[in-house]
Structure 1
């Protein structure tokens, strides 16, 4: 799938992400009251995402990004004065890290890509285990625009229909996905979830609803509360 640029300050995507990032900074500022530097594990995170971090916080935060090995090159954009360490790992199995090793666990639009609901449960459990607090954001299943392709209602179609569509046509932001095996893998790792499932996976968190046109665009859960 083609990567969508969220760094252009003129786009609505940038404005939503910038506003959303205020919650991340609030968590960091709270953690700074008891720990300096604040350690953050960003599961499935990109280095350029942290360019949103305010200048006054940069020397007080150490960020560990965790990604699969074949993603490291794509996710290694320059990060100026940010303190970022890249680690190879799997968000569903963070056994290389100990319990509460980090102050904050962070993931932004990742849980919907890990595959089955069983994998989502593993991902959420590991996210909660390795840090004292967590921040997790994911697009809302019931928002009509599918955010990864930019096509209305696409995510509400049955999986076989979505596989056929992206294999046969260029859909939204994405070029045609070939061969069929790649299209199957794409859809297998793209399952949006609703607030009930977010609460199931993160039972000790508080859900915050990011709204657009009176509808919930994405779900953010912060915990434990």
Structure 2
């Protein structure tokens, strides 16, 4: 008899990916509308993993003649991205400060900056509450380098104020209370029983924090769902 937990996770994940596919298309069109990439421009997808975002919009990638490079710290993910026809770039954690400006025309960063915090191997063990302040400083530096290396960019991240936390699919899971030790302990427990598993490497942002990260942006705003701020967007187009 199939394991109920595994079966539930399988169907929940399939449903999520089905819904997310339509969101990704809308997000891609928003990226095109706001950043206005030119034919032949080179786009680096920071933290693009297997290149799924652009692969699921490959018809639009071809239509707009974008040269997409998938950048990630996971070599196995990049193998998949390469098999999908994308150029790839294997990054080290926190390598962005070393990257030269002007190599890429556009930086695209989708649901990644919230995960740019501590080294992945230590996130389960770090339970001090200064995680939030230290993570914020790392994220701010990451954002500054996005502004530095490219004239144009599009950065998206989930908003901490949305009632359902996107990494766990649970109500207000991350926000209340802001207690690092409790957060890690709860994640360990729900990973055993809940349909959505995740790793405590993320630090969610509010609109004010996110806006302060991108002083050179053309605009920073939030996409709302039934009145709630669901995701934050920062972009810069050609001036």
Normalising by structure 2, we get a TM-score of: 0.74
- The 1:112/1:81 distance shift into structure 2, 3 A limit, reads closer
After superposition, residues 1-225 of structure 1 pair within 5 angstroms as 8-9=17-18, 11=19, 13-26=20-33, 30-32=36-38, 36-46=39-49, 47-53=51-57, 55=59, 57-58=61-62, 60-68=65-73, 71-77=74-80, 82=85, 84-90=86-92, 92-95=94-97, 97-115=99-117, 116-156=135-175, 157=177, 158-170=179-191, 172-175=194-197, 186-187=199-200, 189-205=201-217, 206-223=219-236
Determine the C-alpha separation between the residues in 1 that align with 2:25 and 2:234: 17
Per-residue deviation, 1:76: 4.0
Determine the C-alpha separation between the residues in 1 that align with 2:15 and 2:144: 28
Per-residue deviation, 1:103: 1.3
Determine the C-alpha separation between the residues in 2 that align with 1:6 and 1:73: 25
Normalising by structure 1, we get a TM-score of: 0.79
Report the secondary structure of 1:102's partner residue.
Answer: coil
Determine the C-alpha separation between the residues in 2 that align with 1:215 and 1:198: 16
Structure scoring higher RCO (CA < 8 A, sep ≥ 6) equals 2
Per-residue deviation, 1:93: 2.7
Determine the C-alpha separation between the residues in 2 that align with 1:19 and 1:91: 30
Q: Give the CA RMSD over aligned residues.
A: 2.8
Determine the C-alpha separation between the residues in 2 that align with 1:56 and 1:139: 24
Tell me how many residue pairs correspond in the alignment. 205
Q: What corresponds to 2:129 in structure 1? A: none
Does the CA-based 8 Å contact 1:92-1:120 persist in structure 2?
no
Per-residue deviation, 1:6: 8.3
Per-residue deviation, 1:65: 1.8
Per-residue deviation, 1:193: 0.2
Structure with higher strand content: 1
